[in-house]
Amino acid sequence: MATAPRSLDTISLCSTVSSCPDRNGFYGGFQRTDKPNEPLSKAQIIAREKKWLYMIDNWSIYMSKNYKKIRDRCRKGIPKSVRPKAWFYLSGAYLLKKKNPNVYQELLEKPGNPTTIEEIKKDKHRQFPFHEMFLDEQKVGQIELFNVLKAYSIYNPKVGFCQAQAPIAAFLLMHLPAEDAFWVFVSVCDVYLQDYFIPGLEVIQNDAGILEGLLKKTCPPVYRHLQKHKVEPLLYMTDWFLCAMTRTLPWETLLRVWDCFLAEGIRVIFKVALVIIGASLSRHKVRKTCTGLCETLAVLRSPEEQIVEEEFIINNMMRLNLRVEDFQIEHTRQKARRAKQKAQQEAESSGSGNGHRRNMPTL
């Protein structure tokens, strides 16, 4: 799996670690920020909070009759105080929890698959190691992270546990109580990122093709550069998609992206990826210095700070000339292409089992 060097967020001697956490709980790492809060007045914040609280109180009406209002408010950014509850509703987790009372606690009481449990134990300390919730295994973050991942592996044994799920679960636990975080996590894994974590990664391979097709439409010069140097999408986008950008973007940008992601789905991750790729390689001067695969990957895996800045990402996402139909067209195209490839592979496999037939002359 291709992983961006900056996104690993593992402890390093070179990392700058503060004695005090930032406003989001980070002591260090690339997601720590000392920038001031958004320049909104107290009156503006309160007005937005009231609008969101009213909307949540009338959620079913808004979802059925005025979804556009929900989407537009998500794009503006959900107020921090309302975000946990908003995500709980946007993801449909509130319905899952209502339909499955006591299920989370029941899952915690089950032993789980021993091999899976060991994998989770080995992986839980790697998630956001600079955040106050996950500093050591005695902290509530690591304990709850283990519980959420274990519960999901029992809840959906077809998927079990995949390492790429851990940062998503940890990210949700920073905003929601454990049981609520679990149900949002279920929704993300089973709906938003459906089949992403099944062995074989067939869906992510399909989405890599879709991303390539959309890039050809939105930024032809960059598309041609990647084709020229044989830079396959899976080499740089796998971590972005599997982890839903949680290990890639600065914190404030990530929160805004997830506001949109939970409202609009996987298309948002595609758009963020297109913005990063396009902005990183849009200048001819940059492409000229990227003389091969390795140089190009280095640029894509470590985008410049201004490219992943909150307003830049959100504004450029909205400016992309992409319709829902464009995604549907590419999805259909990639599905047909992969079906054709599979048929060819099966034919070749069948032919190799009957070698004497392959050399027969065609009549």
- CA–CA separation, 109 and 314 (whole Å): 42
Give the pLDDT of residue 10: 39
Return the CATH number of the domain spanning residue range 202-342.
1.10.472.80
- pTM value is 0.89
Q: Is 288 exposed, middle or buried (0-12, 13-18, 19+ CB in 10 A)?
A: exposed
- Can you tell me the mean pLDDT for 323-346? 88
Angle at the Cα of 195 (from 192 to 196), degrees rounded to 5?
A: 75
Q: Are 219 and 282 in contact (CB under 8 A)?
A: yes
Residues 275-317: tens digit of each pLDDT: 999 999 999 999 999 999 999 999 999 999 999 999 999 999 9
Three-class SS state of 17: strand
Domain map (residue ranges) of the chain: 42-76, 91-192, 202-342
**CATH assignment of 91-192, given 3.30.1490.100, 1.10.8.60, 3.90.1330.10, 1.10.8.270?**
1.10.8.270
Taking Cα atoms as reference points, which of 268, 205, 259, 193 lies closest to residue 237? 205
pLDDT in tens, 124-170: 999 999 999 998 888 899 999 999 999 999 999 999 999 999 999 99
